[in-house]
Amino acid sequence: MPGWNLQISFDANDLAIRGALQAVRKSMQTASFEPELMSRVEMVLAELFNNIAEHAYAEAGKGEVRASFAEDMGCVTVAVHDRGQQMPGGMLPDGRLPDTNVPLDDLPEGGFGWHIIRTQSDFLTYARESGSNVTKLRFDLSSGK
Amino acid sequence: MELDTKQNGDAHVVTPMVARIDAAIAIQFKDAMRAATADGPGRIILNLDQVTFIDSSGLGAIVSAMKNLGSGCKMDLAGLNPDVDKVFRLTRMDTVFKIFPDVDTATTRAAV
């Protein structure tokens, strides 16, 4: 596990995202990370990658995502790059959960993603750098989340 | 996608035979659920014991499937693995669905 790192790139579409998540899990399994941490990484990156496909690349209809992973001093850090549209307002969404205390027909079917990303990662930053979105995340090995 | 269905007492047990309910399969899942539950009204138990991963698109598809059932029908969940259960808890969807450890428990507590 110490020194573990991984670089991946893939097209921002549903099946390629699934493949990327499975590749990350496999690599983390080989490196003997805790199952709890692997699950958190997969859960958060699924939302982030889906979001890039559905929003950042919505207009283009396609685009590349690059992600690099590293283990360092008991943390896993991830840097995700895409060349899609900038986040609205240049900031990450706040991740407020939609109201679930509503009649059946009004129950939310989406809007959960940023809540999952924000609550299941330990540190998160976003920047627009020369035409790219750069999202950086950190997962602590024993954060109890 | 394949949904295994069987009648268990007064409940219709629907089991998705997939490991992942994610964005890549969400629409197929909704369509398959609509076909599998077209017989309502009644009680549906969605058995997720084959599922090891769910994302918010998959969660949305399950909510959508329940909404499609309408008010004459009820959908409970069973067999959530810890990672799947976590997604329901994080999004407070555990307050919307009744969640049972497994199908047998869900069936024996049908009258509750």
Q: With beta carbons under 8 A apart, name residues in chain B contacting A17.
A: 22-24
Q: Is A63 left (phi over 0), alpha (psi -120 to 50) or beta?
A: left
Query: Which one of B23, B91, B96 has the shortest CB-CB distance to A112?
Result: B91
Instruction: Name the strand (E) or helix (H) holding A120.
Output: helix A113-120
Q: Tens place of pLDDT for every residue, chain A, 145 residues?
A: 678 999 999 999 999 999 999 999 999 999 999 999 999 999 999 999 999 999 999 988 899 999 999 998 879 999 999 999 999 999 999 999 999 999 999 999 999 999 999 999 999 999 999 999 999 999 998 766 6
Instruction: Using CB atoms, pick whichever of B20, B24, B64 lies closest to residue A109.
Output: B64
Nearest CA in chain B to A18: B24
Is residue A4 less than 8 Å (CB to CB) from chain B?
A: no
Q: Sort out which chain B residues have CB atoms less than 8 A from A47's CB and list them.
A: 55-56
Question: Cβ of A15 under 8 Å from any chain B Cβ?
Answer: yes
In a 13 Å sphere around the CA of A24, the CA atoms on its Cβ side amount to 31
**Candidates A39, A50, A107; nearest CB to B55:** A50
pTM over 0.90: yes
Task: Give burial (CB, 10 Å; 0-12/13-18/19+) of B81.
Answer: middle
- For the stretch A88-111, pLDDT in tens is 999 999 999 999 999 999 999 999
The identity of residue A10, as a single letter, is F
Specify the higher pLDDT residue, B17 or B41. B17
Task: Report whether B61 contacts B27 (CB < 8 A).
Answer: yes
Helix, strand, coil percent values for chain B (each to nearest 5): 40, 25, 35
Which of left, alpha, beta for A46 (phi over 0: left; psi -120 to 50: alpha)? alpha
Residue of B71 and A1 predicted with greater confidence: B71
Q: What is the ipTM of this complex?
A: 0.93
